[in-house]
């Protein structure tokens, strides 16, 4: 069993590092390269230190252990950058920083009672991050307009995150009530757990190894079709879509791409490809937000609407609450709706007082 464990774990570590190298040397976005390499290195270090024989072969070097401190956030951060288009900032790196700091605290305080408490908090936090990754992967699948990312969502990454949740929960249960038997072989430090990680890693490599821009890269508008007939058909579809949006179809709360495709009498996959390749949007929410934010900017700059609250405008434009509207507006303009309104109405002191 030891040889099998060493082989499968070595296979997983090698595949993870090859995947990170491929992403790091690719032409995808800077944030995707950084996160891809970070996730590969931390997960490889985690897989190594979870195996006592493998770590002993490295002389129990502290380097892999230090690199593994933030492994609980690696998968989550990869999901958020690739699937939610989050930029890599100090805010998005906060879970990583927290896990590193708490891990160092455990080293300094070990084997005190405080260290045990930190261990429980760390593992619970890692489980929540993995669970959040599962929710993100599942929630965004329907609205994702990029075919490569849709393939990556299906159930591979979701299962990977579920396995992350399982590992953390099993560790917590074993800490409180030591387990025995076959269940323990599924832990990351045991042979079956290593085999599962190896299979997941190889499957991830099959999806990501070429680091296709359709998965990692920014959206881009495709040139016109060489086929005149096909181009005419797409132009007609775009005109129909523009007409629906001009009639404020985007205002409907809860509008889905399936509903819009049905209204346009189009297969959903054709509408998905049209919005992505001809209009340059990576997901359906971005497409709707582009129309909603433009309408919001017009209303916020309108002196006649100076006394209309930002919340009332948000609800009227189809947002279910103020929070998503503020985030979407700031993502497009770089400022809050209130700041935008203040700047737009700055020429009139009386209107500034109204704001």
**Which pLDDT tens digit goes with each residue over 57-94?**
788 888 888 888 888 888 899 888 877 778 889 999 99
3-state secondary structure the chain: CHHHHHHHHHHHHHHHHHHHHHHHCCCCCHHHHHHHHHHHHHHHHHHHHCCHHHHHHCCCCHHHHHHHCCHHHHHHHHHHHHHCCCCCCCCCCHHHHHHHHHHHHHHHHCCCHHHHHHHHHHHHHHHHHHHHHHHHHHHCCCCECCHHHHHHHHHHHHHHHHHHHHHHHHHHHHHHCCCCCHHHHHCCCCHHHHHHHHHHHHHHHHHHCCCCHHHHCCCCCCCCCCCHHHHHHHHHHHHHHHHHHHCCHHHCCCCCHHHHHHHCCCCHHHHHHHHHHHHCCCEHHHHHHHHHHHHHHHHHCCHHHCCCCHHHHHHHCCCCCHHHHHHHHHHHHCCCHHHHHHHHCCCCHHHHHHC
**Which pLDDT tens digit goes with each residue over 117-174?**
888 888 889 889 988 888 888 777 777 777 666 766 665 666 666 677 777 777 777 7
pLDDT tens for the chain, 355 residues long, are 667 767 777 777 887 888 788 778 777 778 888 998 998 899 888 888 877 777 787 888 888 888 888 888 888 998 888 777 788 899 999 999 999 998 888 877 666 667 778 888 888 898 899 888 888 887 777 777 776 667 666 656 666 666 777 777 777 777 777 656 555 666 666 667 777 777 777 776 666 655 455 566 555 555 555 567 777 888 888 899 989 988 888 878 778 888 999 999 888 888 888 888 888 888 888 888 888 899 999 899 888 888 889 999 988 887 878 888 888 898 888 889 999 888 888 865 555 444 4
Q: State pTM to two decimals.
A: 0.68
């Amino acid at each position: 069993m030891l040889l099998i464990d060493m082989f499968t774990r070595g296979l997983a570590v090698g595949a993870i590092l090859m995947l990170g190298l491929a992403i790091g040397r690719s032409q995808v976005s800077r944030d995707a390269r950084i996160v891809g390499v970070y996730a590969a290195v931390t997960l490889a270090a985690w897989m190594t230190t979870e195996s006592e024989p493998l770590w002993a072969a490295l002389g129990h070097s502290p380097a892999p252990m230090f690199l593994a401190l933030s492994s609980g956030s690696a998968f989550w951060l990869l999901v958020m950058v690739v699937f939610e288009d989050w930029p890599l900032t100090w805010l998005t790196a906060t879970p990583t920083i927290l896990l590193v700091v708490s891990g160092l605290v455990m080293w300094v305080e070990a084997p005190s009672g405080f260290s045990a408490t930190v261990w429980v908090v760390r593992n619970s936090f890692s489980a929540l991050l993995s669970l959040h990754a599962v929710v993100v992967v599942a929630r965004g699948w329907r609205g994702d307009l990029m075919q490569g990312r849709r393939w990556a969502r299906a159930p591979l990454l979701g299962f990977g995150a579920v396995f992350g949740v399982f590992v953390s929960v099993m560790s917590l249960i074993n800490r409180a009530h030591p387990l025995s038997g076959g269940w323990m072989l599924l832990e990351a430090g045991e042979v079956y757990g290593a085999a599962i990680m190896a299979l997941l890693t190889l499957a991830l490599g099959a999806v990501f190894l070429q680091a296709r821009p359709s998965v990692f890269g920014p959206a881009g508008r495709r040139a016109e079709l060489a086929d005149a007939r096909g181009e005419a058909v797409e132009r007609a579809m775009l005109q129909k879509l523009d007409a629906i949006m001009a009639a404020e179809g985007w205002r409907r709360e809860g509008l889905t791409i399936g509903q819009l495709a049905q209204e346009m009498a189009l297969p959903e996959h054709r509408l998905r490809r049209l919005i992505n390749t001809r209009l340059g949007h990576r997901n359906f929410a971005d497409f709707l937000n582009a129309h909603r934010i433009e309408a919001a900017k017009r209303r916020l700059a309108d002196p006649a609407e100076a006394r209309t609250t930002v919340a009332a405008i948000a609800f009227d434009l189809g947002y279910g609450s103020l929070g998503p509207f503020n985030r979407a507006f700031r993502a497009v303009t770089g400022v809050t709706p209130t700041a935008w309104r203040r700047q737009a109405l700055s020429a009139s002191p009386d209107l500034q007082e109204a704001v």
